[in-house]
Amino acid sequence: MQRIAIKNHIQEIQLITQRCITVFMMMMILIGLLIARLAYLQLVNHTLYTTLSKKNWLDLTPIEPTRGLIYDRNGILLAENIPIFSLDVIPNKITYFPHMLAEIGKIIPLSDNDISQFQKQLKQHRRFDEITLKLRLTEAEVARFSENQYRFPGLLVKARLIRHYPLANSLSHVLGYVGRINTDELRHINPTNYSATHYIGKLGIEKFYEDQLHGTVGYEQAENDASGQAIRILNKIKPIPGKNLHLTLDSKLQLAAEQALSGHRGAIVAIQPKTGDLLALVSEPSYDPTVFVDGMSNEDYQRLQTSPDRPLYNRALRGLYPFASPIKPFIALEGLNSGIASPDFTLFDPGWYKLPNSQHFFHDWRPHGHGTVNLTKAIASSCDIYFYDLGHKLGIQRIDDILTVFGFGQLTGIDMGEELPGVVASPAWKRKTKGVAWYEGDTINSAIGQGYMQTTPLQLAAGVATIANRGIRHTPHLLAYMEYANQAREFNQPKDPAPVTLRDDHDWEIVIHAMQEVITSPEGTGYHFGKLGPYTAAIKTGTAQVYSKKAHGLNEIADNQDSLPERLRNHSLLIAFAPVEKPTIAIAVIVENSNLASSIARQVMDYYLIGPPLVTLLPQTTNRKGTTANALHPFH
């Protein structure tokens, strides 16, 4: 028989007890860890998880501030904000962009430019930022999207304000425009203040006064439902709107000047001499800034950039032109101030000038000369020979000195940026930039505004305004004052440069009288200019050579500009101020490849001083587009 072992109950009880104790200890450890974790979450990370939990039902959304408006000196609105509907995308809620674009395109038409602009913005913004896919939705498009919105959880229609320029092309070179913020700009702006903003000033006033126009971002705290849609606003911090800018510009004068220059390439700058207020700043041709607000295709932008008329080029501030004869009043002032010239000194002009110990002849613009001339007649008739001689006696250093104290060769300080300083040439400048020595012939050419000397229309206008003020200089400026939301005003007070002082203040009157003779003397280059208006004016006309037949081995034919292609013809220039007794306007006009500067200046001055220009009294000429334009005698 097999033997059967009897169970050891004591040993079994001990084993079970040990196992129970082990399980109990493990349970206690796990419960301890759970309690520790709960304590950590509830006590240590209480603030973090409270915030996260609130985010499940609360949303903090930035509110874009309203961009400040821009007005002219008469309160006419130049830049405003208009309401539109836009289709925006929240990228982190989209799983597959090509499918989304294809589907939404069946409901709302999307252009290639819309898609390319969206893809560009997609790379520049964070995935939870709202990015505009299409601007300016129609009411029908908004309705169609609303019916299908459930299919597109990452898309929404937003009502927003967008920049609009009521005068379109007019003032585009002054106001500039706003455009979508790019990657480079994102690195230089306050990301918090621009968290709800998609646009920033790119050029002109819009860029220069961006900080004042933009305002301060606001926020709103909204309670959301389970789908993330806001059901009520719990708290709101209102944004601070940007300041409104009131400019010194007279938009009616600006439009008159643009109309006078229309169809030609050139610039007009008008300044109020006593204050430095810019009344008009025209560069033609211009462009429509609205296309930059909406966003344009690369093809359209390249078309603007490569246009031979260069509509994006601000000729008033960046156009570099020879001084030509408008330099002569400034040279005459230096001659009088230094004692080298006098009102009584006369010189015979046979039509040519030759330096001592030189065989080279410098010719006058009038082949047979002007005969016996003094300073007044030399300015009135624009006698080159007189200023050849005066320039030789003065030397380049004195010529440089007088131009420098008038502000040439340096920035004027206009509150718009973008300007170029021009060139006041000197031996040191020529050695540095050209690598060759300065010759006496360079000084002779400089004395009549040719050679290396270059200036901008803005500098010419500021220079003639200084003559009108008898030496008092003002910084040309565009801002009159800023207006806050509470209608408080902050006036612009630009710092004025040092005045131009002469040893004898009577020298101002001598040169101004000579400039009056330009239009009152039968020998004046602007004699016909003065017969039509009731006001007095001091003027200097000029012609800047673009193409020299002699330099190209051809026979020089005087005044035969019509035989040249249009873009090789001379530029015409004019500086003026009026009335002489109490100047209220100083003006500089440059018209490229045309002799119409005088007639255009006359129309602008007539409009400002007596009303619309007397166009019916002016003879007609043909401009570069084949249409007729008012013209006067082509002045030198």
CB atoms within 10 A of CB 225: 10
Query: Could you tell me if 331 and 392 are in contact, meaning their C-beta atoms sit under 8 angstroms apart?
Result: no
Instruction: Spell out the residues 6+ positions from residue 595 whose beta carbon is closer than 8 angstroms to its own.
Output: 543, 561, 570, 572, 631, 634, 635
User: How many angstroms separate the Cα of 219 from the Cα of each of 56, 157, 159, 195, 233?
Assistant: 18, 19, 17, 10, 11
In angstroms, rounded to a whole number, what is the distance separating the alpha carbons of residues 318 and 418? Answer: 7
Here the tokens at position 341 are 């010239």
Among residues 368, 384, 514, the alpha carbon closest in space to that of 444 is found at 384
Helices 328-338 and 384-405 meet at what angle, rounded to 10?
80
Choosing from 86, 251, 286, 325, the catalytic residue is 325
325 assigned to active site: yes
Residue 396 CB partners (closer than 8 Å, separation 6+): 425, 426, 427, 438, 442, 443, 446
Task: Report the C-alpha gap between 67 and 358 in whole angstroms.
Answer: 65
Quick one: 552 exposed, middle or buried, by C-beta within 10 A (0-12, 13-18, 19+)? Answer: exposed
d(CA 621, CA 213): 44
The single-letter DSSP state of residue 337 is H
Count of other CB atoms within 10 angstroms of residue 494 = 16
CA dist 384 and 331 (Å) reads: 12
Q: In angstroms, rounded to a whole number, what is the distance separating the alpha carbons of residues 357 and 392?
A: 13
Distance separating alpha carbons of residues 268 and 251, to the nearest angstrom: 13
Asked if 574 contacts 601 with a C-beta cutoff of 8 angstroms, the reply is yes
Residue (of 558, 512, 508, 533) closest to 617 by Cα position:
533
What is d(CA 605, CA 600) in angstroms, rounded to the nearest whole number? Answer: 9
User: Residue 329, SS3?
Assistant: helix
CA distance 272 to 279: 7
Q: What are phi and psi for residue 201, nearest 5 degrees?
A: -65, 135
Q: List beta partners, residue 37.
A: none
How many Å apart are CA 612 and CA 504, to the nearest integer? 39
Which DSSP string corresponds to 517-557? Answer: HHHHSTTSTTGGGGGS-SS--EEEEEEE-S--TTTTT----
Residues taking part in catalysis: 325
